Structure formats: C-alpha cells, structure tokens
Amino acid sequence: MQKKSSYSKIVAGTMTWGAWGKQFSKREMAELMQHCLEIGITTFDHADIYGDYTNEADFGKAFSESGISREKIQLISKCGIQFDAKGRQNRVKHYEYSKAYIITSVERSLRLLQTDYLDMLLLHRPSPLMHPDEIGEAITRLQKEGKLIDFGVSNFNPSQVALLEKAVPVTSNQVEFSLTQNNVMYDGTLDDCIINKRLAMSWSPLGTYFRENNTVSERITKAIEPLSVNYNCTVDQLLLAWVLKHPAQVCPVVGTTTKSRLEAAIKATEINLDLQDWFILLEASNGNEVP
C-alpha cells in the first residue's frame, strides 16, 4: 500500500483542460502540469465525466510524456454520475454506486490516467439509492489492492457522510463554498469536516462574483475593491483568502488554466485576512449584518 497522500493547499481543477473548455494539446497540458508543480500546486482534480468521459485520457497521455514523477503529484478523481454521452447510452441522468461499477470506474480512471493508483476517489454526488455496505466493500477492495489511497465524497451533507461511515471511513468532502455560496458554513457540512478531521475542498471558490452582474456583486464590489488596495492584491485573491480563512482549512479547487492566475491563487494563501474584513465581505454578500 502506498504512503498516505499529502495534498497541496491549492488544487488544480482539470474540468476545462479538455473537451469542455480549452481543448489543450498534449504538449499544452504537460506544460501546464509542469507549471503547476513549479509554483507549488501538486494536486490535480478530475472526474470520470469531464469532457464527456474524455478528460482523463487526454491528461493521462500528456502526463505519460511529461517526465513528471508520479510521486510528485496527487491525482483525485470522481465517479457516480451517469449521463448520455459517447459510449454511455444512458436513458436518463442518474447515479451508479454498485460495488462492481465503483471498481470498474476506478480501474478505468487508472488506465486512462496511466497510473497504478489514485490518491483519492470521491463519490461525485449522493444518490438516494446508495448502500453504505456495498460502497464500503468496493473501497476496501480497491485499497487492499493498492489502487486507491484515500476515499471521500463530493456534495454530501453530514447525514449522508455519516451513512457511509457506517461501512467505510470518509476522509474528505468537496463542496461548493465561496463568498457568494456559503450555505455549507451553516448546514453543518464544514463543522463535520472540522469535528472529524476531514479534508475540506471547495469547488467554484470564486463563486458567482465574476459570472453574475447583480445587486450581490455590486455590494461585494463596493466592499472588496478598497480592501484589494489595502492588501495590495487582486479581487480574486481576496475571494480565495476569504475561503482560506475558515477554520475547516478548506483547499480551493481552482479551475483556471491561466498560468498567471494560478500563480495568484498560490499567493492568496499568504494573505492573512483581518477578522473584521472577513465579516465585511460576508455582510456584503448576504446583504445584512450577522445576527
């Protein structure tokens, strides 16, 4: 069995590296991997569905020719979501968490990523039909065979995590968490990560700020622009610093493919956001004082 994995504070999200976004060539992917390592991003976040089930293969081909040692990186992938795509003739979008499917999915990810093991597998979204014992049997087998180190979930609430833990330890939860999407601070999800020492990861850590022009973004702009001057940093760095200040020690999954923005994300880990400034931004997002 491989040693316990250690994950970088900023995680590189690969969802838009391939068919769902930039459509990088093998050379471009390898160069971006190398750049990530040079600046301290060693963890790469995948899912079997990315690029209509093609992203892992593209990444794997680039990785195999990159010259990067497997021991220098951590590979995360997810499984469970099924939809109609080439080679997947599903009649309806659904979730699949049978023992056989989880094992087959991980073995497929290993083959496509051209690696012997995953550092972490996440169940992509909770299914009302998932059975903890069946999932536990699959994970236990994969770990015993050395194909998987850590097991976690994505988008699960605390009761759903507790259900799985009847059968298998859950070491992480990747959830949507940002200044504009902060419900996990109040529904017990991040509390659960702290209490049980789970690795908390945040997808879409910049939230909707750059995507939506509404009263929320207007309030945040009014509050955050003076702060960016005070901290001598960019707005996106402050948005990451806001996430990073939470005591759950959340690791943002950053989806940008721009090298300078990846560098900026790493520098955001050095920002010590003042307590009251953190609440100023929360008030701007929520539109009211904390109770």
DSSP string over 140-185: HHHHHTTSEEEEEEES--HHHHHHHTTTS---EEEEE-SSS--GGG
The contacts of residue 49 (CB under 8 Å, 6+ apart) are: 78, 81, 83, 85, 124
List 76's β-bridge partners, or say none.
45, 120
CA 101 to CA 106: how far, in whole Å? 8
Give the type of residue at 13.
Answer: G
Q: How many helices (H) and strands (E) does the chain have?
A: 11, 10
Q: Look over the chain and give the mean of its residue pLDDT values, rounded to a whole number.
A: 96
Per-residue confidence (pLDDT) for residue 22, from 0 to 100: 95
Q: Per-residue pLDDT tens for 47-105? A: 999 999 999 999 999 999 999 999 999 999 999 999 888 778 888 999 999 999 999 99
Q: What is the three-class DSSP state of 148?
A: strand
| Percent above pLDDT 70 for the chain | 99
Per-residue confidence (pLDDT) for residue 88, from 0 to 100: 81
CA 237 to CA 256: how far, in whole Å? 13
Give the type of residue at 57.
Answer: A
Per-residue confidence (pLDDT) for residue 1, from 0 to 100: 40
Q: What is the pTM of this model?
A: 0.96
Averaged pLDDT, 109-129: 98
* Statement: residue 231 has pLDDT above 90: yes
Supply 34's token pair: 């190398």
Around Cβ 44, how many Cβ atoms within 10 Å? 24
Choice between 83 and 41, residue whose per-residue pLDDT is larger: 41
Around Cβ 242, how many Cβ atoms within 10 Å? 25
Active site residues: 50
Q: Per-residue pLDDT tens for 145-172? A: 999 999 999 999 999 999 999 999 999 9
Q: Per-residue pLDDT tens for 274-289? A: 999 999 999 999 999 9
The contacts of residue 30 (CB under 8 Å, 6+ apart) are: 62, 63, 65, 66, 68
Per-residue confidence (pLDDT) for residue 181, from 0 to 100: 98
CATH of 11-170, picked from 3.20.20.100, 3.50.50.60, 3.90.700.10, 3.90.1150.10, is 3.20.20.100
Per-residue confidence (pLDDT) for residue 226, from 0 to 100: 98
Of residues 178, 277, 180, the one with CA closest to residue 223: 277
Q: Are 98 and 134 in contact (CB under 8 A)?
A: yes
Q: Per-residue pLDDT tens for 205-228? A: 999 999 999 999 999 999 999 999
* Statement: residue 3 has pLDDT above 80: no
Q: Are 199 and 251 in contact (CB under 8 A)?
A: yes
